[in-house]
Amino acid sequence: MTQQFAERATSVAPMGARNADTGDLVRILEDQNRRKLDVIVSGSALRFREGNVHVDGIESLITEDGVTDVDGIYRPTAVADEGIADKLRIPLAYLRRMRTENVPLLDENVNTWLREEPERRYMLRAFRGDNGPGMPPSEGVARALLSDSYKRMDNLDMLLAALDGVQQSGHPTRITGCDLTDRRMYVRVESEAVAVQARELLRGYRSPFDERSGDELPVVSAGFVIANSEVGSGAYTITPRAVIQVCRNGLTMTQDVMRAVHLGGKQDEGVVSWSGQTQRKTLELITSKTADAVRTFLSREYVEAKVRGMEDAAGKPLAEPTKTIEHVTKSLSIGAEAKGRILAHFIRGGQVTAGGVMQAITSTAQTLTDADQAASLEALALPALAAAAAHG
């Protein structure tokens, strides 16, 4: 989430967290749930004005909790802009340029394409504005524009179902950190009860944070990352993750990811409401799949096999480390700023091998304030290991 959006959205809902504990994450998610608005809306009910989404002509929802008004103004997030560009087939770079340089042209472009297919239906995910009792509603936030067959799998529901699955698995675990962005939720889980020796993997390595030695603490523990997106930025996933205890670097093994996609049936126009039975079946499936994944990922045999599989490549010496890092970052499309940080971490790590490049990427990921960027960079650690070993 950009700082600009963080400032304008604070009156609507707390939008993000980095390295939060479980209690803080749950409090944010509960607050967001109170303000969520999901509606199936046709193109004829949508307009852009001054760069904002205007909804007009959708019937209010009346329940025992009160009246939910849909019509109003919603400020798009960057994720919502991506969805608008995708659904209307407007090049994203062009849409971003219009938002920065010529908002009236942005309005005209979006509205022209909406008029082309007035009956086409979308799911708009939003946060309602809230100025307090007795006050007129403030602007809301347009979080995403999605297909009308998008299946809601919300963060709080997914988290509670997944943690139920973790508990059912019977493994002792602890949550070591939670991130929440306008794109995704990440919850890192670790089991220090499942730890293996990794002397070859950590030979000669020292933590870039406090210079502790990998030779003195050559331990890797088992873990995984629970991730979910409410806005179309990826499926619900559980990804195995080994944790280097000397520095807390995380090695995510994306090739073994377990996922559940957000794809349902077409829905009628109006405010979206899940039936209790549909929601219960989905969450029961998530709990069951999570328990199965945990039993696999938190086994000593699984972690040992993964560590042994890394050791040969990790031990490859690098004759020209700077050139290797240049090659690796270019081949994996890692930007110049991150490349500079990776090189600095590589030097501090002292491990002049392909494994040192891998460690530098994961330790750099820990320092990033943007959780999405951190997760993306950490996921490149094992591909970087293979690329460094081949180049070195």
Q: What is the full per-residue pLDDT of the chain (392 aa) written as tens digits?
A: 333 333 333 333 446 899 999 999 999 999 999 899 999 999 999 999 999 999 998 887 665 556 678 889 999 999 999 999 999 999 999 999 999 999 999 999 999 999 999 999 999 999 988 655 444 556 899 999 999 988 888 999 999 999 999 998 888 999 999 999 999 999 999 999 999 999 999 999 999 999 999 999 999 999 999 999 999 998 899 999 999 999 999 999 999 998 876 555 554 445 555 555 667 888 888 899 889 888 899 999 999 999 999 999 999 999 999 999 999 999 999 999 999 999 999 999 999 999 999 999 999 999 999 999 999 999 999 999 999 999 97
pLDDT of residue 213: 96
pLDDT of residue 67: 67
**Residue whose entry in the numeric block shows the structure tokens 């799911």:** 123
Pairing of strands 140-147, 72-76: parallel
| Residues 6 or more apart whose Cβ sits within 8 Å of residue 151 | 261, 262, 263, 264, 282
Pairing of strands 174-180, 140-147: unpaired
Q: Quick check: 230 and 125 in contact, CB under 8 A?
A: yes
Rg of the chain in Å (alpha carbons): 23
Give the integer Cα–Cα distance in Å for 340 and 367: 13
Dmax (CA) of the chain = 71
Q: Quick check: 353 and 336 in contact, CB under 8 A?
A: no
b/e map 354-377, b = 16+ CB within 10 Å: bbbbbbbbbbbbbebeebbebbeb
HEC sequence for the chain: CCHHHHHHHCCCCCCCEEEECHHHHHHHHHHHHHHEEEEEEEHHHEEEECCEEEECCCCCEEECCEEECCCEEEEECHHHHHHHHHHHCCCHHHHHHHHHHCHHHHHHHHHHHHHHCCCCEEEEEEECCCCCCCCCCCCEEEEEEEECCECCCCHHHHHHHHHHHHHHHCCCCEEEEEEECCCCEEEEEEEEEEEEECHHHHCCCECCCCCCECCCCCEEEEEEEEEECCCCCCCEEEEEEEEECCCCEEEECHHHCEEECCECCCCCCEECCCCHHHHHHHHHHHHHHHHHHHHHHCCHHHHHHHHHHHHHHHCCECCCHHHHHHHHHHHCCCCHHHHHHHHHHHHHHCCCEHHHHHHHHHHHHHHCCCHHHHHHHHCCHHHHHHHHHHHC
Q: Quick check: 214 and 59 in contact, CB under 8 A?
A: no
Give the integer Cα–Cα distance in Å for 147 and 305: 41
pLDDT of residue 273: 54
What separation in angstroms does the CA of 352 have from each of 16, 158, 315, 332, 356?
37, 41, 9, 20, 6
Spans of all domains in the chain? 3-147, 155-310, 312-391
What separation in angstroms does the CA of 384 have from each of 18, 165, 360, 372?
25, 32, 10, 18
Q: Quick check: 362 and 251 in contact, CB under 8 A?
A: yes
Q: Which of 349, 353, 350 is nearest to 362 (CA)?
A: 349
Give the integer Cα–Cα distance in Å for 16 and 320: 40
pLDDT of residue 152: 84
**Residue whose entry in the numeric block shows the structure tokens 């290991």:** 385
